[in-house]
Amino acid sequence: MVFNTGAALLDAIVLAVVSKDPEGTYGYKITQEVRQVIELSESTLYPVLRRLQKDECLEVYDMECAGRNRRYYKVTEKGRVQLALYKSEWKKYSHKISGMFEGGIIYE
């Protein structure tokens, strides 16, 4: 993709992916799903997950899988509220940008 992905958009995408499973999901699976819409390395993803955890948008727990611990991430209530805000803002933003590309005048 030729457009840069800012921190807020990356947070929104990660929250959307994690929120799909109410029990939570793990890092590798998150990476694979995010890569369906943007290019993302694991070295980029994990700081985002830590930031969202620090901001209390995600909670973390470990579960054994094939003899190893796997870290799971789950959206908190605060994370759901933040995701709703991101969705609302994205609709407004994308509508304005689409209007500009199509030559229309955008009113707020």
Which pLDDT does position 41 carry in this prediction? 84
Average pLDDT over residues 47-69: 93
| CB contact at 8 A, 83 and 12 | yes
Which pLDDT does position 13 carry in this prediction? 96
Cα 85 from Cα 73, distance rounded (Å)? 20
Provide the pLDDT confidence category of residue 1 given band limits of 50, 70 and 90. low
Across the chain, mean pLDDT equals 90
**pLDDT exceeds cutoff 70 at 63:** yes
Please give the model's pTM, rounded to 2 decimal places: 0.87
Residues 34, 37, 42, 48, CA torsion sign: negative
